[in-house]
Structure 1
Amino acid sequence: MPYGISLKSLNATASPVLELWDKAAAFEETASMRALNYPPHLTLAVYQEIDLDQLAEALDRVFRTCPAVTLSFSSIGHFENEFLVLWGRPNNGEQLFQLHAQLHREIDPTHCHEHYRPGNWVPHCTIATKIPMAKSQAAIGWANRNRMRFPVTFDAADCVRFPPVEILREIRLPCPTGQQKAPPIIGGAVHAENGRH
């Protein structure tokens, strides 16, 4: 049963991502992201098997003193698996890569799914996971034409087991002093897909 560690956005800055979920869902048989009941997120690691204490301890060591992470997005990328996956590409990823590296110093990366290992990982905020290949060209065309720019504040980190999804531990990340935290908009559980999410 797989396990994951993610950064997620539990506040109103996630609204533009939710709008992209709804627009991208037009290419899917069933809206994949809304069905998750889990907020916009960036997955840092996926493990097929791992000691749960080690997972929770790594989460604590990396994130217990970490402030919220604000990233800007301005384009949409894609992965081709069994289905086409569309995702938002963060622009300013230096802090993200530092957190990713720190996490993989806590847990040997050889235990991690190859797509999430240092050197392979592509930071991404998924907006659709189940676009059939018959609609992939139309979806990629839409993604290439979609020129948006917005920031998202990721104000929580968690470790989960899936499926069925179980949040094992969650840490709220404080917003920097003087930054007003927006009200929460969504909660729930993580999802699994074909290799990347």
Structure 2
Amino acid sequence: MPFAVFMELDPYGVAELQPIIEHVERISPDAATPRRVKVEPHISLAVYDGLDPEPIAKALDRFSADISTPSIKLSSIGLFPGPASVLFAAPVVSEELLALHRDFHAAAATAGVACWPHYLPGNWVPHVTLGEQLSPEEAGAAISGAMALWQPVAARLHRISLVRFHPIELLWHRQLPG
């Protein structure tokens, strides 16, 4: 089973995205949305095919000990196209966000695990998944409806978590100081 390290949006940010998530659920009975997979909307920092959770949890303890709740602005929506497309909200890619991602990967390197390449610094496209496993027809309807509902969202990343998925199993988390 794969593992992910992600940072969850605060409750305000989550509430602002709910109308779009509900829209995706109405148009696609099979789409994986945050609510359907029982996870809060988040930005993933890394995904791994397999790992021993203990070393990565220790790296997360060190990494998260001194960080405070980062602010983000979700400024646009997008689509990773394909036969199983992904609808997402995209944050403004700030130096703070890129530094946070780089610093996480530097800390995680001590755990000796290989991250999926598209989550590595230089390849990473930060995003908040709103719906995935969308057929091409569903993706068109999802993006069209999301455009009608979209408004920029100011949020904070208030918790960092390590999970095994699917189904989601929380292995480690820390609430960040605000």
> TM class by shorter-chain length?
0.7 to 0.9
Superposed counterparts of 1:10-25, under 5 Å: 10-25=10-25
Q: Residue by residue, what CA displacement relative to the aligned partner does 1:61-110 show, whole Å, maximum 9, x if unpaired?
A: 22122111221112101112431111001015322211110111123497
Distance of 1:23 and 1:103 partners within structure 2: 33
Residue of structure 1 equivalent to 2:8: 8
Residue of structure 2 equivalent to 1:85: 86
Distance of 1:57 and 1:40 partners within structure 2: 24
Between 25-34 and 154-163, report the one with greater CA deviation.
25-34
Question: Which protein has the bigger helix share?
Answer: 2
1:47 maps to amino acid: Y
Residue of structure 2 equivalent to 1:136: 139
Partners of 2:20 and 2:146 within 8 A in 1: no
Superposed counterparts of 1:12-161, under 5 Å: 12-30=12-30, 32-33=32-33, 34-108=35-109, 111-144=114-147, 147-161=150-164
Distance of 1:6 and 1:129 partners within structure 2: 17
Partners of 1:73 and 1:91 within 8 A in 2: yes
RMSD over aligned CA atoms reads 2.1
What's the offset of the Cα at 1:31? 5.1
Q: Residue by residue, what CA displacement relative to the aligned partner does 1:97-129 show, whole Å, maximum 9, x if unpaired?
A: 111101111234971012211111100011111
What's the offset of the Cα at 1:146? 5.1
* Aligned residue pair count: 175
Runs of 4+ in 1 over 6 A off after TM superposition: none
In structure 2, list runs of 5 or more residues that go unmatched. Answer: none
1:12 maps to amino acid: Y
Sequence identity of aligned pairs in percent? Answer: 30
Partners of 2:8 and 2:157 within 8 A in 1: yes
Distance of 2:138 and 2:19 partners within structure 1: 20
What's the offset of the Cα at 1:147? 4.3
Residue 160 of structure 1 aligns to a residue whose secondary structure is: strand
- Could you say if the C-alpha distance between residues 45 and 171 of structure 1 is closer, same or farther in structure 2, counting changes exceeding 3 Å? same
In structure 1, list runs of 5 or more residues that go unmatched. Answer: 176-197
Give the TM-score, by structure 1 length: 0.79
What's the offset of the Cα at 1:130? 2.5
Give the TM-score, by structure 2 length: 0.87
What's the offset of the Cα at 1:11? 2.4
- Could you say if the C-alpha distance between residues 9 and 76 of structure 1 is closer, same or farther in structure 2, counting changes exceeding 3 Å? same
